[in-house]
Amino acid sequence: MQEIPKKKITRKGLSKAFKLYEYIKPHRNEYFLGLFFLLGSSLSSLAFPKLMGDLVNTGTDRFVGTSVNQTAILLGVILLLQSIFSYFRVVLFVNVTEKSLAALRRATYNHLIKLPLRFFEQRRVGELNSRISADVTLLQETLTTTLAELVRQIIIIIGGTILLAVTSVKLTLFTLAILPPMMIVARFFGRFIRKFSKDVQAQVADSNTLVEETLQGIQSVKAFTNEYFEIEKYKTRTIEIANLGMKSGKYRGAFSSFIIFGLFGAISAVVWQGSQLMAEGELASGDLFSFVIYSVFVGGTIGGLATVFTNIQKFIGATEDLFQIFEEKEEAIIETTELKEPERLQGQIELKHLNFSYPSRPEETVLKDITVKIEPNKMIAVVGPSGAGKSTLASLLLMLHYPNKGELFFDDKDCLDFPLSVLRSQISLVPQDIFLFGGSIKENIAYGRPSASDEEILEAAQKANVMEFVNRFPEGLETIVGERGTQLSGGQRQRVAIARAVLKDPKILILDEATSSLDSESEKWVQDALENLMHGRTSIVIAHRLATVRNADNILVINQGKLEEQGTHAELMQKADGIYKRLSEMQFSS
């Protein structure tokens, strides 16, 4: 898990942090009740040192009127109240936080999944996953612990300082002059040592990586006779780690000496000054006892403020990063169930002077002035050299991207007149690189239409020739495909994807190099499944191997983003200097 960066606390950052209140708001009664118990717990903890001092004082002649047992009982009641307050404070804060962050996680995921494809092309999956996992986990820690700890520490510092002053103003001034600075120095010294320890751990991790890489590449090491080179490299690394560790040991020893001499010396100085005040009759022994405990409370709390402040900085950074995602505009996604008659496609497609550039490369026009009309239920092939823009055209038809210029029509209606989900529900894409989810074959086929019955799933599997290999598996359609479908061969994955498309029953089918990476036997099964799938639909076949598209009703030849030629195989082969003829002759001659 990547570490959340600290950010400066700015007005913009705070305003985004306060957006969290939208998710806490439905549970605000519980949250404010938790704050009440937090206040009670903090105040009762302040009463503890005072009562401990009174318990000491009851043993002196000066306080003979007060019963030791009464003070002890009162002390027990305070401890019981503090325990009860602490329990309900933790339970209430955790309940509110878990409910609020569950809603936040859902909102973040729902928003992410509705964002357009261009957003994901400009972001790394690890970064987006971190927003939902690491960032939300930090918010969870902050809402349950850090904010409560900040409130508690403020109460302890203010309340403790007041009670110190009430006990003895002279001793309070003396204590504030020496103890808090020592606590702060100890805090920053400790952070410095932790950083050094992290450096040691990082060096050890690097050395482990060196060992792992060397052993994985042992064949290369031996082939190049570099054994002694690797031995020397590892020796240098281990010496560096040892030197860093010894240096860290010196710092840890200095820190230990500082704690003993500095902090305990400061407490000893407070007791010495208090003893002088006791000798002068200005302070009772029990009051000095209370004073020392309050001093440790206040000093330790001041030292701990640095940690709380650091966590709040990380919290601000996490909320800024998380809510930045919500500034991205969602696609107009709707839930499609039953299509209305005007929304049903007949399969006609028309492109008029269409131009497109990717947002990340606006200066490079990938498609240039494409104009073509595709009639319903026809097979259209799209061919051309690599990088010509063929797959980009497929993504535009599926409305994964929008043209920068020009128009796209379905059944003589502008694509923007259709709800986006209605269009996509009637178009299927079978790509070259098939992505399968890690469940069963049956679940992956059903992804084409999650409401499908078992009989419909089986029928789709049979039409796509999936049952040819599934019948050899003991678990049949319940066979787990593994992560990204790695338990199946390329041809098997293609057939599962085709079955998924069969189940969806689209009016427009886009095949993007669906058989290019298969062996001859797998291609035969897949091609047979594709022919079943293409029947009665508008099919757009993107292909490198021209032998697979000879029977197309129309072949579009794209070169460097332009539609250079179109026609049937016979028509294009008659063009003396045609691109299609040149590509075809090169393939068949080879």
Average predicted confidence (pLDDT) for the chain: 78
pLDDT digits (tens, 9 = 90+) for 393-436: 888 888 888 888 888 888 888 888 888 888 888 888 888 778 88
pLDDT of residue 298 exceeding 70:
yes
pLDDT of residue 221 exceeding 70:
yes
Higher local confidence (pLDDT), 523 or 268:
268
Would you say 136 and 104 are in contact if contact means Cβ atoms under 8 Å apart?
A: yes
Find the distance separating the first CA and the last CA of the chain, reported in whole Å.
51
Model confidence at 386, pLDDT cuts 50, 70, 90, reads confident
pLDDT at position 1: 43
Higher local confidence (pLDDT), 330 or 264:
330
Higher local confidence (pLDDT), 338 or 509:
509
76-97: string of b/e by CB count within 10 Å (b at 16+)? eebeeebeebbebbbebbeebb
Domain 346-426+538-590 belongs to what topology?
Answer: Rossmann fold (3.40.50)
- Written as six digits, the tokens of 494 are 């293609």
Please report the beta strands in 434-560, taking only residues with DSSP state E, as ranges in sequence order: 508-512, 538-542, 554-559
Strand partners, 480: 440
pLDDT at position 471: 87
pLDDT digits (tens, 9 = 90+) for 40-74: 888 887 777 777 776 676 665 554 445 677 777 78
pLDDT of residue 296 exceeding 80:
no
pLDDT of residue 318 exceeding 70:
yes
| 9-18, 114-123, 174-183, 552-561: range with lowest mean pLDDT | 9-18
Strand partners, 554: 380
Q: Cα–Cα distance between 465 and 515 in angstroms, integer?
A: 14
Burial of residue 563, with CB atoms counted within 10 A of its CB: 0-12 exposed, 13-18 middle, 19 or more buried: buried
List all residues 6 or more positions away from 365 whose beta carbon is below 8 Å from its beta carbon.
355, 356, 357, 561
pLDDT at position 523: 65
Pairing verdict, β 379-383 and 554-559? parallel
What DSSP letter does each residue of 309-365 carry, written as one string? HHHHHHHHHHHHHHHHHTTSPPP------SPPGGG---S-EEEEEEEE--TT-TTS-
pLDDT digits (tens, 9 = 90+) for 439-497: 888 888 888 888 889 898 888 888 888 888 888 888 888 888 877 677 788 778 888 88
Average pLDDT over every residue of 186-201: 70
Burial of residue 439, with CB atoms counted within 10 A of its CB: 0-12 exposed, 13-18 middle, 19 or more buried: middle
Pick from 76-85, 193-202, 263-272, 521-530 the range whose average pLDDT is largest: 76-85
Give start and end residues of each alpha helix (H) in 59-168.
68-113, 117-121, 125-130, 136-141, 147-167
| Residue 61 vs residues 71, 167, 235, 277: alpha-carbon distances, Å | 16, 19, 72, 18
pLDDT at position 59: 60
pLDDT of residue 5 exceeding 70:
no
pLDDT at position 2: 47
Q: Cα–Cα distance between 135 and 148 in angstroms, integer?
A: 19
Burial of residue 189, with CB atoms counted within 10 A of its CB: 0-12 exposed, 13-18 middle, 19 or more buried: middle
Enclosing H/E stretch for 300 = helix 285-325
Q: Is 66 helix (H, G, I), strand (E, B) or coil?
A: coil
| Residue 538 vs residues 348, 381, 534, 543: alpha-carbon distances, Å | 8, 11, 7, 16
Would you say 33 and 92 are in contact if contact means Cβ atoms under 8 Å apart?
A: yes
pLDDT at position 126: 67
- Written as six digits, the tokens of 374 are 């595709």
- Written as six digits, the tokens of 275 are 């003893």
Q: pTM for the full model?
A: 0.67
CATH architecture, domain defined by 1-166+305-333 = Up-down Bundle (1.20)
- Written as six digits, the tokens of 93 are 């804060």
Which residue, among 179, 183, 408, 384, has the nearest Cα to 273 in the 3D structure?
A: 179
Radius of gyration of the chain (CA): 36
pLDDT at position 389: 81
Q: Would you say how long the chain is, in residues?
A: 590
| 60-64, 191-195, 261-265, 514-518: range with lowest mean pLDDT | 60-64
pLDDT of residue 234 exceeding 70:
yes
Pick from 42-56, 187-201, 370-384, 531-545 the range whose average pLDDT is largest: 370-384
| Backbone torsion region of residue 465, taken as left when φ is above 0, otherwise alpha when ψ lies between -120 and 50, otherwise beta | left
